[in-house]
Amino acid sequence: MPILAPEWSADGVYVAFRVEPRDYEHWERGEIYLVVNARTHATFELDHVSWHDFAPDRAHVVVIQRGQLAVYDLATGAIVGDRAPTAYAPVFAPDGRIAWSEPAGDRYRIHVRAIGGAESVLTGLPFAGDTREAVGIDFLGDDVIAWDDMGLRVWEHDKPIVTIDAPISPPTARGSRPRSR
């Protein structure tokens, strides 16, 4: 069983990697990721994963499975909170919150969630009409900034404080770039 693309958590305790089983039964389940605790050798398996990253809190792994965002507790392997639809890879805030976008009619919903906690849904960003086009999301303190090819929004908590509904170029001051699946 080949091991592909190993990625270590920031603290070096966990490693996640993709495996390609040779038997047909596993292939029906899609790609399989294993997350292993390097100290205890405890392992849990995640299937149909298209994206994964370790949370800044070093206690969770965040994955996209079948177009749904899911957060898993690294100590137990149990899912934390509800799954949520997502169009793109999530972005972490410096304080550990996670944000992702979801097309909703002619707009995007920007979800911001504390891991294992409350979720805010920010609305109003124009939908570019093509889910292959990435939505950029960034944080400045408590403010959330989101943009795509059709506009830009800045929210202070849940209140929009900047609204631009026109084609724009992505901000580059901090090196931010739209992230895609």
Residues 6+ apart with CB under 8 A from 25: none
> Rounded to 5 degrees, what angle do the CA atoms 60, 109, 92 make?
30
| Count: domains in the chain | 2
For residues 103-116, give the mean pLDDT. Answer: 88
pTM for this entry: 0.77
**Domain boundary, last residue among 25, 54, 83:** 83
Strand, coil or helix: 73: strand
Same domain, 90 and 77: no
Pick the last residue of a domain from 27, 62, 83: 83
Q: What percent of the chain has pLDDT over 90?
A: 30
Q: What would the pLDDT profile of 139-174 be if each residue is shown by its tens digit?
A: 998 899 998 888 899 999 889 999 998 887 655 555
Q: Are residues 45 and 121 in the same domain?
A: no
Residue 79 and residue 163 in one domain: no
Domain span holding position 68: 1-83
Contact yes or no for 127/134 (Cβ under 8 A)? no
Query: Which residues are paired to 100 by β-bridges?
Result: 111
Residues 75 and 25 in one domain: yes
- Identify the domain boundary among 29, 48, 83: 83
Same domain, 60 and 99: no
Asked if residue 6 and residue 40 are part of one domain, the reply reads yes
Is the distance from CB of 74 to CB of 61 less than 8 angstroms?
Answer: yes
pLDDT of residue 130: 64
Residue 126 has pLDDT above 90, yes or no: no
**pLDDT tens digits for range 13-53:** 999 888 766 654 554 555 677 888 999 998 888 888 888 89
Same domain, 77 and 95: no
If asked whether residues 179 and 105 sit together in one domain, one would say yes
